[in-house]
Structure 1
């Protein structure tokens, strides 16, 4: 798994490439914490290139959501491929994390 972070005027984007599993979950948690510590608590996870997510990956996403919200922000997901969307539906996390079409639209209207 690879992560890349870009900061925009109103939010930051973390792009996740590959498989988000137990091996990569700590890196995602750390990336979210670094952004929050730097003052960017509005975060979008761009999952367009994410092939798979397991329970540890889901835990890291929910942990990131809590971290961002505790800092007065939010964590949103975007460009979710069908295999990842299926896992979110299966775990009912699609009710907690509403998917947005693109990272650019995740904070539209806010």
Structure 2
């Protein structure tokens, strides 16, 4: 089933993109250096590759849906790695985004 394949790919893409952006942020904003920045650039490139593995053939649909995953994943990343505490509005917005992901990716469509 496509859902069982696409959900882990969305999670992997989120880790690669959000993690890559965080590494670049750490390298630049926290003055951790070029190794952190370089690792971030590699992770961001990996994100671009992982997105191509989605079973849906539509670039626009996959990237639009991934936007919702990115919103929720970014809040989770901030909570785990930066001590950010999302409030109820953050969580509500993330939940709405994930509902949007489900509609975009998994709604029944006529072939």
Same fold (TM > 0.5): no
By percentage of residues, which structure has more strand?
1
By percentage of residues, which structure has more helix?
2
Structure number, greater radius of gyration:
2
